[in-house]
Amino acid sequence: MTNNSCDLLAVGAHPDDIEIGMGATIAKYVAEGYTCQFLTLTKAELSSNGDVETRQLEAQAAAETLGVKKREQLSIKDRGLASISPAEKLDLVRRIREWKPRFVFTPLPDRHPDHGACAAIMKDVLFDAGIRNLLPEYEPHKVDAHFSYFINGFSNPDFVIDVAHVYEKKIAALQAYQSQFQPHGGVPTPLTDQYIESVIARDRMYAKEVGLTYAEGFKTYRPLNVTNLFER
């Protein structure tokens, strides 16, 4: 493993996407000694509340709360992911090859078009990262698995992760985004309408389905290989 390698790479379209969908899972694996890294594609400059500078400070505070030491922020245009340039996509391929993540998490498509666009981009990028004759100066890399996390949507997850023991870190990370969830003098948006409470309710519902207190849910792109049904 090189110094640039990471165990888990979480990708978001905007600052706060990752924390909403899987902040507690990140905290759990950081606490267990795994290297977790954030990659955010846009600066969310079109957001109704806050500004780019404030949002970046909030994102850094949230990452530190979860224990994440490396957070990469790109400058692809907000609402411009559907028209990402070939050069921007190649840059993402290069990053995957340099970081060599074992697992990659991206948003599940929902009501916000950027979330689905982020997922589609990264699906292409992860495929291209394994093509030997593309960017031959960088060693090809294939991830062990690609998973999706929930932001706005609610549906049956393919699996859940028990995060009760670190859940307070997720709440603290979300609360770092004051400009989005509790803006002073801002305008009403879905994020200002008890959004954090709805995220908590979803995580409690997923947990209740499997006898836990708090759990984050995920979807898989491929079936999971269960070697032994009696060892889970």
pLDDT per position in the chain (232 positions), as tens? 345 789 999 999 999 999 999 999 999 999 999 999 999 999 999 999 999 999 999 999 999 999 999 999 999 999 999 999 999 999 999 999 999 999 999 999 999 999 999 999 999 999 999 999 999 999 999 999 999 999 998 899 999 999 999 999 999 999 999 999 999 999 999 999 999 999 999 999 999 999 999 999 999 999 998 889 897 6
Q: Which of 36, 45, 37, 35 is nearest to 14 (CA)?
A: 45
Query: Dihedral through CA 107, CA 148, CA 66, CA 32, nearest 10?
Result: -170
pLDDT score recorded for residue 3: 54
Q: What is the pLDDT of residue 215?
A: 98
* The predicted structure's pLDDT at residue 229: 86
CA separation for the pair 84, 151 (Å, rounded): 22
User: Model-level pTM?
Assistant: 0.96
b/e for 176-208, b at 16 or more Cβ within 10 A?
bbbbbbebeebeeeebeeebbeebbebbbebbe
Query: Which pLDDT score, from 0 to 100, does residue 4 have?
Result: 73
Q: List domains and CATH numbers for the chain.
A: 8-220 (3.40.50.10320)
φ/ψ of residue 23, rounded to 5:
-60, -40
